[in-house]
Structures are given as C-alpha cells and as structure tokens.
A and B are shown apart, each in its own frame.
Chain A
Amino acid sequence: DADVTQTPRNRITKTGKRIMLECSQTKGHDRMYWYRQDPGLGLRLIYYSFDVKDINKGEISDGYSVSRQAQAKFSLSLESAIPNQTALYFCATSVVTGTGSTGELFFGEGSRLTVL
C-alpha cells in the first residue's frame, strides 16, 4: 500500500458542485500539504497543516477549504467548483528537520479533477 493515498484518483464534475479530495498517510508525519499542478506553472501550495490544530493558507487558497480530521487525514474541499480549478491535485507529507526547515516531501499519486 502507498504511504500517501489520495481519493479519488480521477473526478469529472460540473460547475457549482461541491467536491472533496481526501488524503490519508501512514508515514506518521505531522506536516501535510495540498498542492495543485498546472502545465507550465508547476506545483503551487493551496493549504498546509503542521499538526491537527494548525491550518494555514498557501499562495492560492481562494475557492478552497481544508479539514485536518486526524494526524493521518487531510481533506481538500471545493465548495463550488469552477472550470479554472481543473488541475492535478497532490497531497504531500513531510517532517521538520533539525534546522527548522521542511524535510523531504512524500507525495500521493495525485487526483485529477476536471470541472466542466
């Protein structure tokens, strides 16, 4: 089984629908992240969480919300999906290094979302 699991892997939905992408991990890491990837733009941070009680906005959080249900679970929601949210979404986990910086990121396999 994968250490970081994302569901669903593929989803097609319509404008205005509510969508939830789920992420679970077995690595025991405190830090979890949601990124979106668009061609030519690379990976951009949507939200991140350093523990269950800590949620932070990333650079492109508008139109998204998250929930950290447990150390192992971090969900991303689109309350009212729009076509420009069509993208590949990745969940990732990490530890913090001794210098206070972020350690290696461990990514899930991605969730491809298409909003019509």
Chain B
Amino acid sequence: KNQVEQSPQSLIILEGKNCTLQCNYTVSPFSNLRWYKQDTGRGPVSLTIMTFSENTKSNGRYTATLDADTKQSSLHITASQLSDSASYICVVSALERANNLFFGTGTRLTVIP
C-alpha cells in the first residue's frame, strides 16, 4: 500500500534554533518527493523537489535530503524564524499512475520568540 508518514506531528522550537522534519514513504514506483509549506489559512506552496538521483537540495535556510534506498526524506530548517511557523507537508509522486500523488498529514511547526 502506498503511504507517506511524517513525524513529528507537531514541534515547538525557539527562534534561532534548528529542526529536522521526517518523511517516510512506501510509494512505488517512485518519481519524486516534494516538501510544501502551508501557512495558517493559506494554500500549500512548494519548497523543494527531490528526484531519485538527488541526495540533498537547499533552498535558503531549508535543506531537504532523500535516501531512496530507505525511502526516507528529511527537511532541515536552519536558524529558525517566526515566519517558519507553518505546516510542512511531504508529497510523494509515483510514476505513470493517473492519480499518482500521496500526501503525508504534515508536521505543524511553531517557532516561539
């Protein structure tokens, strides 16, 4: 069964600290994995995409990793800011399927001053 699991469900950190969010998946055949950021009351916005051949990709203070062998991805946030408070959603895409997106339930990050 194709599944995407994220951990933790929620996280509270102090401003300026680092954190890492996890995404484990069983989707096959794998095409790519995206991390989305969803601010409260807004639609999700893509942060980064990871394909099979990529291990690490950075987008400013956000760094995503992918281990295709263990089917795990992480999103590391460095020097957190209050504006990082949001839900982070992991979405895995399968190859050649009509309905081929599988969503995690998200990690709710709260950054406090």
Chain A residues near B (Cβ < 8 Å)? 4, 40-45, 48, 50, 56, 58, 90, 92, 97, 99-102, 104-105, 107-110
Contact between B45 and A107 (Cβ–Cβ < 8 Å)? yes
Contacts of A45 in B (CB 8 A): 99, 101
Q: Give 8 new A-B contacts, CB below 8 A, not counting A92-B43, A104-B46, A105-B91.
A: A4-B43, A41-B105, A43-B103, A56-B98, A90-B44, A102-B101, A105-B46, A107-B43
* The one of B31, B42, B43, B45 that contacts A101, using a Cβ cutoff of 8 Å: B31
* B residues whose Cβ falls under 8 Å from a Cβ of A: 9, 31-32, 34, 36, 41-46, 49, 89, 91, 93-101, 103-106
Instruction: Considering the complex, give the chain A residue whose CB is closest to the CB of B92.
Output: A101
Given contact pairs A58-B99, A90-B43, A101 touches B105 in the complex (Cβ within 8 A)? no
Write the nearest CB–CB distance from B35 to chain A, whole angstroms. 11
B31-A99 in contact (CB<8A): yes
26 A-B contact pairs sorted by A residue (CB < 8 Å): A4-B43, A40-B9, A40-B105, A42-B89, A42-B104, A42-B105, A42-B106, A43-B103, A44-B103, A50-B98, A58-B99, A90-B43, A97-B32, A99-B31, A100-B95, A101-B31, A101-B32, A101-B94, A101-B95, A101-B96, A102-B93, A104-B49, A107-B43, A107-B44, A107-B45, A109-B42
* A97 vs B32: C-alpha distance when bound (angstroms): 11
Q: Taking each of A41, A92, A107, which has the highest tally of chain B beta carbons within 10 Å of its own beta carbon?
A: A107
